[in-house]
Amino acid sequence: MLKNERIEIQIDGMTSEGQGVGREAGFVVFVDGALVGEKVKVQIIKVAKSYAIGKLLEIVEASTMRQTPFCEVFGRCGGCALQHMKYEASLEFKAGVVRDALARIAGISDSDVSRVVLPIIGMKSPLNYRNKAQYPVSIHPNGSMVSGFYAKRSHDVVSHKNCAIQHETSNQVREIVMSFIKKYSSEITIFNETSGKGLIRHILSRVGINTGEVMVVIVATSSKIPRQAELVELLKGSISGLKGVFVNVNSERTNIILGKKSIKIYGADQIFETIGDLKFGISPLSFFQVNSIQTELLYSKAIEFAELSGRVLVYDLYCGTGTIGLFAARNARKVIGVEIVPEAIVDARANAAANGIINAEFGVGAAENIEFEADPSEVVVFLDPPRKGCEQSLLEKLVFERPQRIVYVSCDPATLARDVKILLLGGFKLESVQPFDMFPWCNDVEVVTLLSRE
């Protein structure tokens, strides 16, 4: 197979990232935008030892799963990779990613996978669901100021004004701030990643989907932006529910969006969002699930899996701002939350106080250093690690301590399966796996998994 060669292939599989997979002349060919069951014409743009990457040229025979994408920048923006797939089909694709990971990585039999993996829970209205938006700001090669989203596998900004998965208010915020920046372009510069010079880096908004409260954060290389009082007045006059405006300072040459320091230039220190009957404060640096609607369902399932009685001691490891632990507290003797990020623990303690919960305590520390305070038969553990999964030392400690139940919330089926394998080998039993579509039209899938000691 040669680079630039044009071939016609049948797509018989898909990767977890949503690429179509075909085979030709001993090569596996990966094709962005192709779906299972399709016959496509592609141009080979990369050839490696055992695989090739093809660029989709033409769909010869279309899949019944295919639909016309609703976004004008689909294929250029690096965000929604599955808009060309009907929503119900995308749900089944994501559930298949979970099943495949458990079989392939954890070594679970197909029959057991079919038994434990429950039907995926999707959204009734899978649009405008994101409560947090981060728009990079850049200078287009033609010299104009643009904001939108990064193109796939790059930091080139694809300009987009009305993202269909962001809350409408976030799109409105972006428009107002960009109009302001362009109006005063002689005073307000745009950060250049190559030179490291310039002022404005990102426009960030957070919206309480259930409360209507709004926060705006301008990420800049300096603690003050020109005419910021005028910007505040523009936002106050246009954004319903505006509670706070901040300048976040990030002067580092880094891919990390937010710096460590946020300066309030208007309003309150945080906004509030409600999940179920609990309320949570969200500050500029807080971690909070981006889909408030699905988060309530996810946490309810996690609590259901835990089968809490008032006698058990709950450990909420990688607790973030304490969300799962606070839901668990009503049916637990005590909740102990542990998180390595100090700012998150400040938020967790404030959230406990705001909700009148007195049987939950939160501390800064590594999850793997936790020491159980009770007989393991009276302990339930919640795990909600970052994408990389749990530290092996923590899994080994859980195998040694043998708590009654483990409820594992994961945003990466591959690392979940890797960790589940260790726990299964250590004597735990896989009871149930519940996939959730937290990010419609994107290829990510969230999973809540229940394990019990044998």
Identify the residue whose tokens are 């609607």: 293
Catalytic residue among 80, 163, 319, 411, which?
411
Q: What is the DSSP letter of 180?
A: H
Q: How many CB atoms lie within 10 A of CB 237?
A: 9
Provide φ and ψ at 188, rounded to 5°. -110, 115
Tell me how far apart the alpha carbons of residues 99 and 436 are, in angstroms, rounded to a whole number.
Answer: 13
Tell me how far apart the alpha carbons of residues 284 and 216 are, in angstroms, rounded to a whole number.
Answer: 9
**Helix ranges restricted to H, 250-372:** 292-306, 323-329, 342-354
Helix axes 413-425, 87-104, angle to 10 degrees: 30
Q: How many CB atoms lie within 10 A of CB 232?
A: 16
The residues near 130 (Cβ < 8 Å, ≥ 6 apart) are 165, 166, 167, 170, 290, 291
- Judge residue 387's burial from the number of C-beta atoms within 10 Å of its C-beta, 0-12 exposed, 13-18 middle, 19 or more buried: exposed
Q: In what order do the strands lie in the sheet with 242-249?
A: 157-159, 145-150, 132-139, 200-207, 214-220, 242-249, 261-267
Across the strands, what pairs with 6? 43
Across the strands, what pairs with 430? 451
The residues near 124 (Cβ < 8 Å, ≥ 6 apart) are none
| 442: annotated active-site residue | no
Q: Checking DSSP bridges between strand 145-150 and strand 132-139, what pairing results, if any? A: antiparallel
Q: Pick the closest to residue 180 from 147, 149, 157, 142 (CA basis).
A: 147
The residues near 369 (Cβ < 8 Å, ≥ 6 apart) are none
Identify the residue whose tokens are 């509670």: 243
**Helix ranges restricted to H, 216-367:** 228-238, 292-306, 323-329, 342-354
Which sequence positions are flagged as catalytic? 411
